Amino acid sequence: MKKIKYVLILFLFIHIHSFAKKKITFISEDGVTVTADLYLKGNDYPYVIMFHQDGSSRGEYNEIAEKIMNLNYNCLAVDLRCGDRINYTENETAQFAKNNGFQSNYIESEKDVRAAVAYAFKKSDQAVILFGSSFSASISLKVAINNARISAVVAFDPGEYLKPVYILQDNLKEIDKPVFVAANKSNYSYIKNMFANVPSEYVTMFTPVNGKGEHGSKALWADSENSKEYWLALMMFFSKLY
């Protein structure tokens, strides 16, 4: 165990200097043009699909995606139609939805998530991992239930963002695959209670010990107080998937 932790801690300081990243688009279920950043490790690798929190964009994953690629995954960081701008990256899906009269709430964003899953699965013919942040963590969990195209979920600070249309807690008992759930200190008790009826063999719960943490995947950014603690827990989860 000590050796594994040493290797994972070392991983935190490794940076990729050579990788292919390009902006791509695909069409959502209702005709919205979805923009995403494709981080291509290789055609034979499975995908981790990354979704941002509200008011954000695919730029939320600029530094995160590069580290996940170290684990031999392709990454797809997706602009959902509910969002704005972060890290100098405009949310182009949200702009398209607004300019063309499409609804852009949390529920409608599920269409973009499903389209991203279809895109990545077609590219690799392998089940994908969903990586959600705040409201998109909730959508990722919803989409993953009983979905053979999804092998695991990483959910940073999920919640009941889909009420009243969909009550996440009532459906989580149907989870049938590994889930990593990260919560900052203020959200931990609430989120832990949400997952109370999920079979324990499927869920890994995490909250930082040495600080309050951040909301959503921003907790993994290098300038976040507890980023290394979050990363270590996340890498331990990934190490058990295959």
Query: Residue 180's beta-bridge partner residues?
Result: 154, 204
Task: Quickly state the pLDDT bin for 4 (edges 50, 70, 90).
Answer: low
Alpha-carbon span 37 to 24, nearest angstrom:
6
Q: What is the predicted pLDDT for the residue at 20?
A: 77
In the block, tokens 């981790």 appear at 48
Q: What is the predicted pLDDT for the residue at 9?
A: 54
pLDDT tens profile 63-113:
999 999 999 999 999 999 999 999 999 999 999 999 999 999 999 999 999
Of 159, 153, 117, the closest CA to residue 132 belongs to 153
**Sequence-separated (6 or more) residues with CB below 8 Å from residue 27:** 33, 34, 115
CA neighbours within 13 Å on the CB side: how many for 40? 13
Q: What is the predicted pLDDT for the residue at 6?
A: 46
pLDDT tens profile 163-181:
999 999 999 999 999 999 9
Residue 186 has pLDDT above 70, yes or no: yes
Domains of the chain, start order? 2-239 (3.40.50.1820)
pLDDT tens profile 206-222:
999 999 999 999 999 99
Question: For residue 169, is it left (φ>0), alpha (ψ between -120 and 50) or beta?
Answer: alpha
Task: Quickly state the pLDDT bin for 8 (edges 50, 70, 90).
Answer: low
Contact 217, 53 (CB under 8 A): yes
The three-state secondary structure class of 80 is coil
